[in-house]
Structures are given as structure tokens and as C-alpha cells.
Amino acid sequence: MSGLAAATRRTSFDALLPTTDAALLAISRFRKRLPHPLLEWLPPESVVSRSLQKASLLEEAADAGFAVLETTQCHDPEQARALGFPVVVKPAQSIVGNRREAARVVSDAAELDAALAALGTPVLVQRFYDGAPVLSLGGVAWNGKLVALAASRWARRWPPADGAASFAETVVPPREIVERAEALVAALGWQGIFELELLRLGERTFAPVDFNPRPFGWMTLAVRAGANLPAVWAKCVRGADPAPLVVARTGIRYRWEDGDAKHLLWQLRRRRLRAAGAVLAPRRCVAHAYFEARDPLPLGAAVWREVRRLTRRE
């Protein structure tokens, strides 16, 4: 933190935007060490901590009008087995110790024991809904209101059962879902960029499964679709009037290249040729996580990183 403080004092900045859960948590806890104007926008430490707690999302979901997944908060393995299998095991928050830990889908007792050993306790155990579509809302909340919004429907994920979006498309979300999302974010007290992931359990039934109070993986899709969330956030930080609501255009697609490539290989190994063909099918209006013709280095770096990882494994 001392190094970050020194760096921010050497150059003039208007604001500091953490981009990972670990950075957000650390900067929030030690904000007094940083120049005060950089974090004037950041909610109080108690709000930041609560926004990162997965149980807080469930506590506020029902009051906001969302469905709530069947969940057990567990302190020992016997409690965790109560829902049966398969289930999703989530840490209390994504930062466990000094490392990031994602949720895990477990199918038997051995996998559950391994998850508990890695995540510690308490954990949240939720019933797993295989194949349930994901609707993800990315946006900017300011003074209790949504000022920018991009909604995406995930077509593919990596890993397939519980991973991030590897292919997605912007859509028009149901109006009542947007209103509920606004109420939920306001109840958490969060202000700034966020992502809210929802499982679609029925025609009008959605259940929150994750809340990320920070920039997120498919941000490039929101920007390409006309909802430049970082720019809207910066305007709010500078005191500009954010009205009217900035909404992403529909029909713009997103591909996370290495995630989608891994998804393709996963489908081929299982001889799911139709699903593999969907990955290979050409699409128009696609925003890429890394690739851009005028700036090829990010994709090159991603490929090189994957090659090195595979080489070390061999």
C-alpha cells in the first residue's frame, strides 16, 4: 500500500478505481494512507465489506423482489451435505486469506471435502441448477440510482458449469428486473461500477447468484454496445450530471477468445459436435476480450501466457 500511495502522489489523478476484489478490499481498509480526493467516491468501508459478502446478496435479494436460491450456511461438512449433490459451494467472500477463490460445483462427498479444505468455513452451499441461463447486468450506480446499464445473456461459459462468460450478447432486460436490480444495489449501499449475475429459473423468475462491486470481465462488450461504464463513472466522480440513463444497444456480441477455445475443446472431447459447431460459427458485431486489429499485443500476450502454462504442465 505504501508503494501505491507513493505512486499516486508522484502524478496527478482524479480518482482511483480498484479492478479486483482483493484490490478493492485492501484499498478500502487502508484508504487513509492514500490521498483523500482519490477515494471520495468510494462508499464507507462497512459498505464495501458488505458488498463483497455473498450472504449479503441473499439477505437483500428477496426484499428487492428476486427469487432466492435454496442456500445453507455451513460451518462443518455434515451441514454442507444436507442439500445432497450436485451443489455449488461458495466462500463467504471471494478473497480467502490472501488469494481469490471462486465458487465450485461439487458432485460427491470427496469433491465437497476438497472444496471445504480450500475454502475453509463458513461457506454457502446452494442447489445447483444445471443449464440455467445467466442474465448479467453490468452498470453504474450513483446516489441510489442506476445511471448506466448493459444487460448480457451468456451463451457459453468457461469452465462450462460455473465459469465466466466466454460468449455473450447484449439484450433488453425485463423492466421489472432492472427496477429490482436498482433496489438491490441501493440496499447494499454500493456506488460505482458493478455486475449482478442472475440465474433465470422461469419466464419471469430470476435469482441473484453473484455481485461484483468493481469492473468485470465482459466490460468491453458494454463499451462496444454504447454503455461506456468507466466513462460514465468518471463523469459521476467529477460531479457531472449522469442523466439520462445510458443503456447498451442490443445484438452486440462478446467473445473471450481463450475461454471460448477451451470450451470448444471441452465439447469436442465429449463428442458434442453441435455444441462445438456453435463455437465455430461466424458471428457479426463481436467485441473481443483481447483481439483488436489495431492493437494485437494483448491477444499475443494472452496466447503466450497460455503456451507457457501448458509447457509447464507438460
pLDDT at 295: 74
Quick one: pLDDT at residue 77?
77
Cis peptide before 35 (omega within 30 of 0): no
The partner residues of 288 in beta bridges, in order of sequence, read 255
Q: What is the pLDDT along the chain (314 residues), one digit of tens a residue?
A: 677 877 777 777 889 999 999 999 999 999 988 887 889 999 999 999 999 999 999 999 999 999 999 999 888 778 888 888 999 999 999 888 778 888 999 999 899 989 988 898 889 999 999 889 999 999 999 999 999 999 999 999 999 988 999 999 999 999 999 999 999 999 999 999 999 999 999 988 999 999 999 999 999 999 999 999 999 999 999 999 888 899 999 999 999 999 999 999 999 999 999 999 999 999 999 999 987 767 777 767 776 776 677 677 65
Measured between alpha carbons, how far is residue 85 from residues 68, 81, 119, 244 in Å? 19, 8, 18, 46
Separation in Å, CA 83 to CA 101, 117, 163, 199: 22, 19, 22, 19
pLDDT of residue 56: 96
CA distance 45 to 207: 27
Closest C-alpha among 218, 178, 212 to residue 54: 212
- Prediction pTM value: 0.92
